[in-house]
Copies of this chain bind each other. A is one copy, B any other.
Amino acid sequence: MKKTIVVFSLLILALLFLFQLSTYAFISSNLNIEIIIAAIAIVFFFVGIYINKKSLHTPTVSSLEINYNKIKELDLTNREYEVLKKISEGLSNKEIAAALFLSESTIKTHVSNLLVKLNAKRRTQAVQIAMSFQII
Q: Which residues of chain B are within 8 angstroms of A53 by Cβ–Cβ distance?
A: 52, 56-57
Tell me whether A88 is interfacial, beta carbon within 8 Å.
yes
Cα A129 to Cα B127 in complex, Å, equals 14
Kindly state the separation between the CA atoms of A41 and B41 in the bound complex, as whole angstroms: 5
Q: A19-B37, A40-B37, A62-B62 are in contact. Are A122 and B47 (CB under 8 A)?
A: no
Q: Which residues of B contact A67 (CB under 8 A)?
A: none
Q: Quick check: is A123 within 8 A (CB to CB) of the other chain?
A: yes
- A48 surroundings in chain B (CB, below 8 A): 44-52
Cβ contacts under 8 Å, A92 to chain B: 121-122
5 pairs, CB–CB < 8 Å, chain A vs chain B = A19-B34, A37-B40, A44-B44, A48-B49, A53-B56
Residues of chain A whose beta carbon lies under 8 Å from any beta carbon of chain B: 19, 22-23, 26, 33-34, 36-37, 40-53, 56-57, 61-62, 64, 87-92, 120-129
| 5 shortest interchain CB distances as A-B pairs | A48-B48, A90-B125, A62-B62, A90-B128, A44-B44
